[in-house]
Structure 1
Amino acid sequence: MNFIAMDFETANAKPYSACSLALVMVRNDQIVGEYYTLIQPETDFFWRNIQIHHIHPQDVAHAPKFPEVWEQIQPYFNPKSLVVAHNAAFDNKVLAGCLDYYHLAKPQYLSLCTVRTSRKLYPECPNHRLNTMCDHLQIDLENHHDALEDSRACAKILLRQAYSFGTDPLKKLVTIQ
């Protein structure tokens, strides 16, 4: 399989409040690259979000703003790209929110949600959160809510699913963004 696993962390509930982003590149079923950055959002942080991901305003004070990040990652988002996320609705919403906020053109790409694939393939699990699925599949997740750690875990979940069930049930859940 070839895909990009994506994870955002946000400063608050606003869809344009990305404060970190990670991408994990998978080619021929192998992780071949990783990208991680803090992002300086143009909005306030909520204490609840800080408690979850431990990113503080001072951590991003000198980080690039989203348009600078987009210049680096835009090539990964095209009509043939498969972008995977655990709870893809959230991550796709953050990407779209950042693009809208900065008046940047939205790309078209293929999307797959490993929460959805996990619900379909592992209905016996009590829930399908990232940490639950990692426990169930014996995938290391040392620092949950670190965008890079979560992206790696998401990539490994999808690779395990493809190995165990083949790609046909996964292809049926791909959407176009």
Structure 2
Amino acid sequence: MAGKRKAKSTKQKESMGPSKWRLQHGGFSDPIRDADPETGSPVQHRRAVDTLGMMLANGTITQQMHDAGGYFRALFRSAALDGMSKSVLVRLPGQTADTLSDHHMDARRKIGAALDALGGHDSAAGSCAWHVIGLEMSVREWAMRQGWGGRPVAPPQAQGMLVATLSVLAGHFGLVPRKRAA
């Protein structure tokens, strides 16, 4: 009986935190208990390592590159491209659940324009932006699993691709002044 109780409490603890897959990548802080500002109900926050924040702190990227990455990530989430499905709890008769608002469509257009500036979705920079910045995959994971053109990329080269991607995005979003040709 004690074995069942222990197994149940272990499963309950696992379901409260990040999955085993996510934990193997490390970089989580201890949970912080807080109250939800809107409802007041207790919530538990965990912080994951922010790749762009670490690169900024290390001096690998500039503040403009960091801001461009943050803007792309925010657009990606607004465009609902992260693969997480949302369901409306209260449904009205005659309406579909998968309609996108003008806000979503505008964000998708901006993501499309940014990917075009990077050379398209299938380019090295486009793939890096989509997976590392948008889907928040680690640089190492993207390099080994996805890479470019289905081929793995060495992690140092992948980090260079991310830096180049952020530089182009900073220019595309107007965060760096453009130099005029003489």
Interval of TM-score (by shorter of Structure 1 and Structure 2): under 0.3
State TM-score, norm by structure 2. 0.25
TM-score calculated relative to the size of structure 1: 0.25
Tell me which protein shows more helix as a share of its residues. Answer: 2
